[in-house]
Structure 1
Amino acid sequence: MISKGFMEKLYHGEFDRNLFQSYREPADEEGKIDHLITHYEEMLKEFPPDTVEHLGVLPEEMLKKMGDARLFGATVPEEYGGLGLDLFQCERLIEKLAPLDLSIALVFLAHLLIGIKGIDLYGTEAQKKKYLTAAASGEMIFAFALTEPGTGSDARHIETTARLSDDGKYYILNGTKTYITNANYTGGMTVFAQMDPGKPGYMGGFIVESAWEGVKVGKDMPKMGLKGSSTSSVQFKDVRVPVANLLGKPGEGFQMAVTILHYGRMGLGAASKGITDQCAEDMLKRARSRKQFGTEIINFPLIKEKIGRARALGFAMGAMNYFATSLLEDDPDHGAVIETSHCKLFGTTRTWEMAYETLQVFGGSGYIATQPYEKRMRDFRVTTIFEGTTEIHSIYPPLVALNRIGKDMKGIRNKVRLLLYLASNLNPIGKSIHIPLTSDNDTVREAVSFVRCASRTIKKLLFTGIIKHKKAIAEKEFLLRRICNLSLYTFMILSILAKFNHAGRANISDEWTAYLGYIIEEAKEVR
């Protein structure tokens, strides 16, 4: 039986204290993160983002410098030539690099977080030695090939196929992938394909080298933003993939793809945190220097509100990201399905709002292309589509819970017992939830009260929805979105409380408490 994650347990009235206390944050004792940031900043001086955008491509020399700086090997284990950063450290790195230029950073971040992640998690020793070593140096830049012209969010029904050859030595790969990040920079890619046409979702993950016969990478697609990154289609025509290049076992590909995307979502969450913090700083600097009506615009409440909201949202994003990462690192396949979805949804949608607000605070000058604010919006826009659209993530968490409940109900064949199961899950659960506190102030007490109330409501909505709509509940998207919003803010508040608990009572500042208070007020609007 697949274990439940933290939020899924909460949906059923169970607060897992051990998981709550697993919250942790990144450390950089050896200065690896600072080393990479320094190299990245120096590289941007030599290859300014505006120049790269006009070129529409990263020069070969720039890619080489990325490799020399070990950016392509940041998370690769040291035994394969990488720096061995864990996901916490990687997220801290992304927080710092994404605001400098997301388009350029995307090249090595996509390589690390989704391109080679399947090899890192599921590869054999031989696969890791061959491909991670080449990936760490930048000799082979990797891509993640899942999306197809006819299948995006519905990845279970991709049409690319992998058929075992008659001699049993190769898989014959046929199909087309599209919107593949790094396509024209890549030396290798993780490709997903159906292995049995009669079983949708019975997929395999394959390591494919771009130079192999039958692999054809198309021209880069013109895009709204992220113009320095490469995005293209890839065609596979009777590509002979050695059996040794299958990741894991036949049929495990779909779950692998889902797990890998958790890491991509956390990368987007970290980028969102970094850019939101940068938006707050940019707005503050502008508001202090710009005068209208005889005073600095920082003195106008509507401007203060924008800056304060950006700071509070950035704080919340950081707590959510590190809590979800704590869960993901401990159980990559099942530990943070709902939590990573919440991080991606909240981070990308709110950062898009903050990018808009930043341009607004800068007024007419923000609209001018010589300033970075319009480019920031163009580059960031696609993040609400990457790794699952906003709409998918607005209904996905309750669907995860409903899938579990459905399996539980299938195992109960006696109608009386089934009714008892449903009835028992409609009982109040708030008093059973105990959350260890590091503070007894009013804001924290209010946060705990919200969590108890929201968790009761989530459970009630799930089970009354099942009784009312039966299987059709999966189609009731407004109901699912309401549940998701409640779940998201519940997770957000619990993440902040977990951060407080991790820091200890003496280290909880008034500023942190104020941010929590702001989030609680925003959360009340979704009840």
Structure 2
Amino acid sequence: MPDRAPQPVDRPLPTEEARDLISLVRDIAQREIAPKAAEEEDAGRFPREVFSLLSESGLLGLPYDSEYGGGDQPYEVYLQVLEELAAARLTVGLGVSVHTLSCHALATFGSKEQQVEHLPAMLGGGLLGAYCLSEPASGSDAASLRTKAVRDGDGDGWVITGTKAWITHGGVADFYTVMARTGEEGPRGITAFLVPGNAEGLSAAAPEKKMGMKGSPTAQVHFDGVRVGDDRRIGEEGQGFTIALSALDSGRLGIAACAIGVAQAALDEAVTYATERRQFGKPIADFQGLRFMLADMATQIEAGRALYLTAARLKDAGRPFAKQAAMAKLHCTDTAMKVTTDAVQILGGYGYTADFPAERFMREAKVLQIVEGTNQIQRMVIARHVAGPETR
């Protein structure tokens, strides 16, 4: 079949600098990420050298302050970078989103001294982060977490004990943003800490064996009496749950952008196949039933992109965006699941084989409906904004 490269997305970018940034990202994605994606995902290989390259290129701290090594980019631009990376390989796009999430607590709630000391290495110094909120018995009910942090003997630091679960980059991260219980039960007793990846007593279990994203390590992380100084406490005691929710509002936009990236990649694959595959003497893209499928796929992708960008612009303007972030996460990840499933259908038997990437896109899309708040949780969040809190 002749080679038919997909057309780049025509993006609504606010500045010439942003257009240059997207061009850089596309070049890296096409040269360094996409060509190896299928082979490395099949082998379960984590591309740490890609994250090093992204760090060297200034792409791991895009939405943060340039004073500390960030890129000073609005979320409107940062999210479109994520989309481009996820379209090339979800392990990379989602990994950048998780790293950004891991930096959020310190960048937003940390003291000036903490930011000066730690952020430059986190944002542009080659370090990779992980975000530790979920536990084996507390996923959606994050306020019930059991990992504890207690004052050590001299009162000048903390000892953290417990297990975190479903941690992206677990075992390979250089730092962990950890939510631990320091006080009463419920959300008011949780505090945030910045824990170095080489801390004594910190270890990771073997990575989970997942349906998709096999190159991205997801593992339990154990804290067996891990000691950290009080200078690694982020924010006030008891403020950790507020910090966690603030990070998740932004993180959900990252997931939404990644979902649209995967969906766009699946649509591109489906269009390429449908215009090249001939049956009954003509391309299968000429058959109305299939053309309508492609039209629906493209429409849902554009709607999802518009929704996450609307939420991003609200955030950039300093306005409330939690409802729109939940809507974007819900719609975009459901769209990714539907579009990738339809892409497999359009490719027929070939779509069900690992010789084509459609089946990988479909497997990867599923996790996006689960991570950083399941889509059932997103519906609860949206309903509270629309109809008020549940009556008791």
Instruction: Give the TM-score of the pair, scaled to structure 1.
Output: 0.68
Provide structure 1 residue ranges, at least 5 long, that are not aligned to the other structure: 1-23, 407-469, 472-527
1:367-420 CA-partner distances (Å, limit 9, x unpaired): 12021111111122100100111222222222355655x7xxxxxxxxxxxxxx
Whole-angstrom CA distance in 2 between matches of 1:400 and 1:303 = 38
Q: Tell me by how many angstroms 1:179 deviates.
A: 0.8
Equivalence for 1:206 = 193
Aligned pairs for 1:114-153 within 5 A: 114-153=101-140
Q: Tell me by how many angstroms 1:32 deviates.
A: 2.4
The answer to whether the Cα contact below 8 Å between 1:192 and 1:253 also exists between their aligned partners in 2 is yes
- Give the counterpart of 2:182 among 191, 195, 199: 195
The share of aligned pairs that are identical, in percent, is 27
Larger radius of gyration: 1
Whole-angstrom CA distance in 2 between matches of 1:110 and 1:198 = 27
SS in structure 2 opposite 1:74?
coil
SS in structure 1 opposite 2:297?
helix
Equivalence for 1:231 = 218
Q: Tell me by how many angstroms 1:54 deviates.
A: 3.6
- Judged with a 3 Å threshold, the aligned counterparts in structure 2 of structure 1 residues 403 and 169 are, in CA distance, closer, same or farther, namely farther
Matched, 1:270 2:260: no
Matched, 1:345 2:333: no
Aligned pairs for 1:120-519 within 5 A: 120-331=107-318, 335-400=320-385, 470-471=391-392
- Judged with a 3 Å threshold, the aligned counterparts in structure 2 of structure 1 residues 285 and 42 are, in CA distance, closer, same or farther, namely closer
Whole-angstrom CA distance in 1 between matches of 2:377 and 2:75 = 24
Whole-angstrom CA distance in 1 between matches of 2:387 and 2:182 = 28
Q: What residue identity is the alignment partner of 1:294?
A: G
Whole-angstrom CA distance in 2 between matches of 1:185 and 1:138 = 16
Equivalence for 1:73 = 61
Instruction: Give the TM-score of the pair, scaled to structure 2.
Output: 0.90
Deviates more, 1:157-166 or 1:378-387: 157-166
Whole-angstrom CA distance in 1 between matches of 2:230 and 2:269 = 52
SS in structure 1 opposite 2:87?
coil
Whole-angstrom CA distance in 2 between matches of 1:115 and 1:253 = 13
Name the structure where helix makes up a greater proportion of residues.
1
Whole-angstrom CA distance in 2 between matches of 1:197 and 1:328 = 32
Aligned pairs for 1:51-66 within 5 A: 51-66=39-54
- Judged with a 3 Å threshold, the aligned counterparts in structure 2 of structure 1 residues 50 and 312 are, in CA distance, closer, same or farther, namely closer
Whole-angstrom CA distance in 2 between matches of 1:179 and 1:302 = 40
Q: Let me know the Cα RMSD of the aligned residues.
A: 2.2
1:245-264 CA-partner distances (Å, limit 9, x unpaired): 11111111111111111111
Equivalence for 1:32 = 21
Q: Tell me by how many angstroms 1:229 deviates.
A: 1.0
Whole-angstrom CA distance in 2 between matches of 1:166 and 1:374 = 54
Whole-angstrom CA distance in 2 between matches of 1:62 and 1:97 = 11
SS in structure 2 opposite 1:99?
helix
The answer to whether the Cα contact below 8 Å between 2:171 and 2:221 also exists between their aligned partners in 1 is no
Whole-angstrom CA distance in 2 between matches of 1:98 and 1:242 = 36
Whole-angstrom CA distance in 2 between matches of 1:394 and 1:290 = 40
Matched, 1:94 2:82: yes
Whole-angstrom CA distance in 2 between matches of 1:257 and 1:62 = 27
Deviates more, 1:116-125 or 1:268-277: 268-277
Q: What residue identity is the alignment partner of 1:44?
A: I
Equivalence for 1:18 = none
Equivalence for 2:7 = none
Q: Tell me by how many angstroms 1:170 deviates.
A: 0.7
Equivalence for 2:95 = 107
The answer to whether the Cα contact below 8 Å between 1:189 and 1:210 also exists between their aligned partners in 2 is yes
Equivalence for 2:37 = 49
SS in structure 2 opposite 1:205?
strand
The number of residue pairs the alignment matches comes to: 380
1:52-96 CA-partner distances (Å, limit 9, x unpaired): 224322255444333323332333422222333221111111222
The answer to whether the Cα contact below 8 Å between 1:49 and 1:104 also exists between their aligned partners in 2 is no
